[in-house]
Structure 1
Amino acid sequence: MKRVFRIPELLYFHNGRLPVPKSFIMNPTTVSTSVRYFSSEEVSKAALLDLYGQFADKWAYAEVRAKEDLVVKVRLFRDELIRNVNDDESSSFEDFLEVEGWNLFKMYSDGAAMIEVLKLLEYDPHLAIRVFNWRRKKEDNTRPMSSEEYAKGIKIAGRLKNVNLAVEIFLDATFKRKRNTSTYNALISAYMYNGLSENCQSVYRDLKRDTSCCPTSVTFNMLISIYGRRVLINQMEAAFQEMKDYNIAPDLTTYNNLMAGYLTAWMWDDMENIYRMMETGPVRPDLNTRLLMLRGYAHSGNVEKMEEIYNMVGPHIREKQIPLIRSMICAYCKNRYINRVKRIEELMLLIPEYEYRPWLNVLLIKLYADENMVDQMDRSIEEAFHRNTSVNTVTTMRAITSNYFRNNAVDRLARFVTRAGDSGWRICRSLYHGLMMMFASQKRVEEMEQVLVEMGKYNFTCSKRTFYILYKAYSEQEQGYQNKFYRVLGLMYKHGYGVRP
């Protein structure tokens, strides 16, 4: 005998029982009195799946609405809380928590409200920890704190650099049997934030010994980050292998942390291998991944590949990536590349004035000198003088002199040499030699001789090249310098220089 199903009664299938959705309920005013029966063969699996799907959508929608409602309530509570904190009366803050806080938190016994409040107060960890400590004091058997609340408190204590408080909260969670992987991870995070890598490893060993807990991807991501920052590449790779031994799939954070570790160790090939693997694997690179690659190529001086990545992420580079921008400029300055000056000037526009760095200014001076751009070089030099930046490298000073010499800018060079000496820049003999040659080429002999006086102020004696410049300058004069010419010639023979440079 076939089993039949009648609508709108409850629909039975085997031993299961499913309520009929409203769309299945017939309206007696519009439907005939005849009742239709369905055989069991007509009720297909697809129909049942459709039923489940309808209810699943409604349940998911209800969860979303509940979450949105929670967020709205918490934001209103946060705003009112901040207003009470700014109140002159210190008791108003406690009174507000006693009334409004308790009313809010008791509505969510799973701690969701407290966790959301602490998330919204991350920008002010001092206020967040006050709220958390009040919640700890108010905890009782009817409203116990959840493990996630304890974990959030541990992280906030770490951000406040109060490691002892973080440990105290962790031990409190342990005593009340709320310790789980989240609290372990939070304590590792607190230690990591305060640079206590040995403590992080100690907590991880405790986690592995705890039979009720198991490491997660968050645990290994933090370990990989810690080892990478300390350039402990072997330990970093061992942590990555252990992660796979636990059958934990690496996520985007895992690969980004690996790349950051290889970048810190200047292991460019390994960094690039991770990136290529991500491009072809299930975990695709994101903006942070490509920014890491951009930084790696900049530090390694691989300008072509740096350009390739920059063309992909260029519009996303903003003020938050100022160190990355400076690294790119440094790479362009140190490597010959087409249109590098244009690229550098585009990047310089992204750096605000308060982010000025003396070493970057010196690099730009050298760049403009090498590119024979005397006006741009002058502007960078003027900025260096204005900001009391001094140049201490002979190569940069010689590059400046050569640029002025190539552009026959003798007066600019004379003014620069004087200001550089007064400002404590690295003065070298080649500056004076270049200036003497330029004065001599323009028949300005008196000014050339004055350069010798300036050289004496810095204890530069006449070298073979100095005598040759004087010899050539006096020999090319028409009249009135024969005595000086023969005197220089005699000094050259006296020192054994002859008449060749």
Structure 2
Amino acid sequence: MLREQPFYQPKEGTYMKLLVLLGKSGQPHHARQLFDEMVEEGCEPTPELYTALLAAYCRNNLIDDAFSTLNQMKTLPRCQPDVFTYSTLIKACVDASRFDLVESLYEEMDERLITPNTVTQNIVLSGYGKAGKFDQMEKVLSGMLESSACKPDVWTMNTILSVFGNKGQIDMMERWYEKFRNFGIEPETRSFNILIGAYGKKRMYDKMSSVMEYMRKLQFPWTTSTYNNVIEAFADVGDVKHMEYTFDQMRAEGMKADTKTFCCLINGYANAGLFHKVISTAQLAAKFEIPENTSFYNAVIFACAKAEDLMEMERVFNRMKDKQCPPNELTFSIMVDAYRKEGMNDKIYYLEQLQQELLNNGCLPSQ
């Protein structure tokens, strides 16, 4: 419609917005079609427009198409890839665990005298850490510490703390925390929340409390994440008394509970064998209009399995499907284990068939 107007002139900004929109809405091939139409209309392509097209492919895990776009850019003198182009592609490779491609992109950037920025390095650090590739992670981190153009920041700090905290490697987490502080990086609320979560998972309650007191001393606010981490720590061991005390304190301070809060509460009651409180907590979540996502349903399904109430478990699973909330691998794992204990092979067969169907259709998220 716009093209039919006599005043219409193709503009780079308009195409840029449309390319980004198509990428975000899962239509990368339409983005390519639009890009080609743009060129036909006489709009000169730029590195930014090519990068937007490449990003559309990356968002939809079409890495081969993204590399083809990169190679096309390299043949055009006025559309050479820049640090943002490479950063976009590196993130896609990290998300797909294609670390071999990450290394080749780093080498290519070095040959072209393009220095990775801190954002790119943080993405790679997180990817290496989650994959357990600690040698490569420390190599990237050491390079950042020695660099004058790509220094670590508080995001780097949080990434490294999360990696070691999630792995339960408390000594390494604490060591790197001190290194970053000595480097002059100041922690933020999220940094402290990561420490609290890590200490809670290892049942190091004294250290968890010390961090919370330190936050108060520095006038850092306790956030929903802060409370969730503490509630989760007590929920994991079925310590209902301290879990409820923390939840009551959270509400008294006017802090809004979220889906994770209720997942933790439900898990805590399940671990303590208090199934009647699981039901009342799920009802409270509905009253507060808490979004019911896959994690929420998994928590309730886990509680039903723990209480050996398989009829209720099946009812919750059906409600999950009715709400078009996709089950993930954990959902099936919990239910199959519950049915296996009762020797209900027909139910297991049905779930395995459904799981395979979702997997074939690319509709089965990981845990």
Normalised to the residue count of structure 1, the TM-score between the two structures is 0.49
Alignment deviations for residues 221-249 of structure 1 (CA, whole Å, 9 cap, x no partner): 21111111221111111111111111111
Q: 2:218 aligns with which of 281, 287, 296?
A: 281
Q: Is the 8 A contact 2:125 2:137 kept in 1?
A: yes
Residue 84 of structure 2 is aligned to residue 148 of structure 1 = yes
Residue 46 of structure 2 is aligned to residue 105 of structure 1 = yes
How far apart are 1:96 and its partner, in Å?
A: 5.2
Question: Using the alignment, how far apart are the partners of 1:124 and 1:291 within structure 2?
Answer: 32
How far apart are 1:308 and its partner, in Å?
A: 2.1
Aligned-pair RMSD on alpha carbons? 4.3
| Superposition map of 1:139-288 within 5 A | 139=74, 141-182=77-118, 183-210=120-147, 212-288=149-225
Residue number in structure 1 paired with 2:298 = 355
| Superposition map of 1:370-385 within 5 A | 380=309, 382-383=311-312
Q: Is the 8 A contact 2:28 2:57 kept in 1?
A: no
Question: Using the alignment, how far apart are the partners of 1:101 and 1:267 within structure 2?
Answer: 64
How far apart are 1:186 and its partner, in Å?
A: 3.4
Higher radius of gyration, 1 or 2: 1
* Identical counterparts, % of pairs: 14
Amino acid at match of 1:76: L
Residue 70 of structure 2 is aligned to residue 135 of structure 1 = yes
Cα 1:328–1:255 change in 2 (3 A) is same
Residue number in structure 2 paired with 1:305 = 245
Q: Is the 8 A contact 1:208 1:215 kept in 2?
A: yes
Q: List runs of 5+ in structure 2 lacking aligned partners.
A: 1-10, 316-334, 346-367
Cα 1:84–1:119 change in 2 (3 A) is closer
Residue number in structure 1 paired with 2:352 = none
Residue 16 of structure 2 is aligned to residue 74 of structure 1 = yes
Q: Is the 8 A contact 1:256 1:288 kept in 2?
A: yes
Q: List runs of 5+ in structure 1 lacking aligned partners.
A: 1-68, 366-379, 393-419, 425-501
Amino acid at match of 1:105: T
How far apart are 1:347 and its partner, in Å?
A: 5.8
- Number of residue pairs matched? 301
Residue 276 of structure 2 is aligned to residue 333 of structure 1 = no
- Name the stretch that deviates more: 159-168 or 194-203: 194-203
Secondary structure class of the residue paired with 2:184: coil
Q: Using CA pairs below 8 Å that are at least 6 residues apart, which structure has the higher relative contact order?
A: 2
Normalised to the residue count of structure 2, the TM-score between the two structures is 0.64
How far apart are 1:334 and its partner, in Å?
A: 6.0
| Superposition map of 1:478-493 within 5 A | none
Question: Using the alignment, how far apart are the partners of 1:134 and 1:250 within structure 2?
Answer: 39
Cα 1:159–1:83 change in 2 (3 A) is closer
Alignment deviations for residues 129-167 of structure 1 (CA, whole Å, 9 cap, x no partner): 734641353135544333233222211111122111111
Q: Is the 8 A contact 2:15 2:38 kept in 1?
A: no
Alignment deviations for residues 183-213 of structure 1 (CA, whole Å, 9 cap, x no partner): 4333323323433233212222233344554
